[in-house]
Amino acid sequence: MSVMLTLHIKGDPALMEKHAAADPDSIRAISDAAKTEGLIAHRFYGSDDGQIMVVDEWPDAESFHRFFTANQDRIGPLMAEVGVTEEPVLTFWRELETHDQVGWNA
């Protein structure tokens, strides 16, 4: 069964959107590299209080770690550009069987 990943960083969501609009190829190159390691789904979210969250679905945690390690030369500069100065907080989640799923082809 796949895992969900949340990655939290303190950064400027507006700068993330500005960077993505100005250089969509750099963002796309990172997600394309992730897909080669098995990325299933991916989204960025931002809050009004200066936080960025990435929500991904991966086959397993190891696939994400392979991708993240191999692509630091792309990810590091992007994080610096959007004001990130601290290490990201990563959490891997497994789905719980609660018998009340809604959506996502439940």
| Interatomic CA distance for residues 53 and 45, integer angstroms | 5
For 5, counting Cβ atoms within 10 Å of its Cβ (0-12 exposed, 13-18 middle, 19+ buried), the class is buried
**104: pLDDT strictly greater than 90:** no
The reply to whether 104 falls in a domain is: no
The CATH number assigned to the domain holding 66 equals 3.30.70.100
The reply to whether 34 falls in a domain is: yes
Q: Are 11 and 76 in contact (CB under 8 A)?
A: no
The reply to whether 64 falls in a domain is: yes
At residue 105 the predicted structure's pLDDT band, cuts being 50, 70 and 90, is: confident
28-77 pLDDT, tens digit per residue, is 999 999 999 999 999 999 999 999 999 999 999 999 999 999 999 999 99
The reply to whether 99 falls in a domain is: no
Q: Which domain holds residue 17?
A: 3-93
